[in-house]
Amino acid sequence: MAIVLDTRFLLTHTFPPSKDVKKLLREFTLRIFRHKVYLPLIVAVEYIKIAGKHLGLKEAENRLLSWLASGVHIVEMTYNDAVEAGKFC
């Protein structure tokens, strides 16, 4: 099984709305690395744009690099990939 991260997940992980959500995200994050984890290139762009406004561009980039160092793979999605991924949303 593969897991594809989206912009909402990364932003919620970075800016959790509550302590309870932060705890749930921490537990979920530990479990997802049992699988292959992918990050579409467009999600990286969106994350840096949005999180960069709040954290600064360098910090947003550092957090993204941290995900990559943890084993997340950046992928470029084709049209067919997007259609297939959209079927699961």
Q: pLDDT band at 22, cuts 50/70/90?
A: very high
Q: pLDDT band at 33, cuts 50/70/90?
A: confident
What pLDDT, on a 0 to 100 scale, did the predictor assign at position 88? 67
Region 3-30: mean pLDDT is 94
Region 17-37: mean pLDDT is 92
- Asked if residue 56 has pLDDT above 70, the reply is yes
Q: pLDDT band at 42, cuts 50/70/90?
A: very high
Instruction: Find the radius of gyration of the CA atoms of the chain.
Output: 13
Q: Look up tokens 């302590």; give the residue.
A: 19
What are the helix (H) ranges across 1-89?
A: 7-14, 19-32, 41-55, 57-69, 79-87
Averaged confidence pLDDT in the chain: 91
- Asked if residue 48 has pLDDT above 70, the reply is yes
